Amino acid sequence: MKNEKPLILPIKNIITENDRVKTFVFEYEMDFQPGQFVMTWIPGYDEKPFGIVSRKKGEFMITVAAVGESTKALHAMSAGDLVGFRGPFGSAFSLPARPAGGPDSGSIALIAGGYGMASLFNLAKEAREKGIDVHVFLGARTKEELLYLDWMKELGAVLHLSTDDGSEGYKGFNTDLFKNSVNGVILSETKNPSNHGSFADAQDDNIKFDKAYTVGPEIMEMKVAAICYKNNIPFELSLERYMKCGIGICGSCSVDPKGWRMCVEGPVIDGEKLKEITEFGKYHRTASGKVDPYPWTKTS
């Protein structure tokens, strides 16, 4: 059941992930599918979409970076303070279809950057529960910004880590790790083998991914999409657009040229549909509706 009017919940507890990011825990059974989002009302400030994470029944979490006025206000809150939730809304990720009862349950790749892991965590959890091998290509600026490492180890996901500064894993982009893994090339990616999950000793070369999933900055998603198209790997991604209503009527998150609403037909889009979204990787719209080209499309 989705909450139409903001459902008001007290913050149960707050996990400090690093000096910019906190995870807020709420005691409530959020009936969601991986990839969906909740419109999160920070009373007096704003309401924004966040991915939903749940590690156990009767509890869910959102992970938020303090980047603007409203998220800073949320960071200043304490346990017991009230936050409102509408949702869950939007489309969800789907696991690859495998022949029932087959010996091999298959393997998926999750490529996450920034806070993208928040939208992918429960997909990883669901996949592991079905016996699917989960390879997580997690990228961040520094070691401190790599999210949920312990939780993913607990799930038994294979972690391929990268940081911009080389403070953990491969120094560079997680998309390079993914590309090399698809091509059967092993980069010296792991400084600390203990980051690997329960089947860490498995050979990583010649991994045949049944499906890939990516959430993060659009430039990263573009690179993943290109790798997947080139190698014929089916994939899904979450396409973030400015949202106002979250319920499909205001038109703010409609994408060109089909008009699909990223709060209803999205945010999860598969590789075939993505081919029809011509604005992907090129521009998005601001709160006024004005087209705002991405910096990398502007000629220098």
Residues lying near other proteins in the complex (CB under 8 A): 4-6, 8, 39, 41, 43-48, 70, 82, 84, 86, 244-252, 254-261, 264, 285-290
Q: Which residues contact 101 (CB under 8 A, 6 or more apart)?
A: none
Q: Is the peptide bond before 88 cis (omega within 30 degrees of 0)?
A: yes
Which residue lies nearer to other proteins by CB, 84 or 217? 84
Shortest distance, position 34 Cβ to other proteins, whole Å = 23
Which residue lies nearer to other proteins by CB, 30 or 220? 30
Closest to 247 in 3D by CA, of 264, 260, 230, 226 = 264
What's the distance, Cα to Cα, between the start and end of the chain in Å? Answer: 49
* DSSP E strands, 107-220: 107-113, 133-140, 158-163, 170-171, 211-215
- How far is C-alpha 40 from the geometric centre of its chain's CA atoms? 17
Q: Give the position of tokens 């999409």.
A: 225
Which residue lies nearer to other proteins by CB, 161 or 253? 253
Shortest distance, position 86 Cβ to other proteins, whole Å = 6
Shortest distance, position 74 Cβ to other proteins, whole Å = 13
Shortest distance, position 265 Cβ to other proteins, whole Å = 9
d(C-alpha 208, C-alpha 65), whole Å = 34
Shortest distance, position 245 Cβ to other proteins, whole Å = 4
Shortest distance, position 282 Cβ to other proteins, whole Å = 13
Q: Is the peptide bond before 217 cis (omega within 30 degrees of 0)?
A: no
Which residue lies nearer to other proteins by CB, 196 or 261? 261
Which residue lies nearer to other proteins by CB, 111 or 255? 255
207 and 106 Cβ atoms separated by less than 8 Å: no
Which residue lies nearer to other proteins by CB, 151 or 294? 294
Closest to 131 in 3D by CA, of 213, 210, 204 = 210
Q: Give the position of tokens 């009230």.
A: 82
d(C-alpha 154, C-alpha 134), whole Å = 12
Which residue lies nearer to other proteins by CB, 64 or 132? 64
DSSP 3-state of 36 = coil
Which residue lies nearer to other proteins by CB, 151 or 283? 283
d(C-alpha 217, C-alpha 267), whole Å = 14
Shortest distance, position 25 Cβ to other proteins, whole Å = 18
Shortest distance, position 290 Cβ to other proteins, whole Å = 5
Closest to 214 in 3D by CA, of 202, 227, 201 = 227
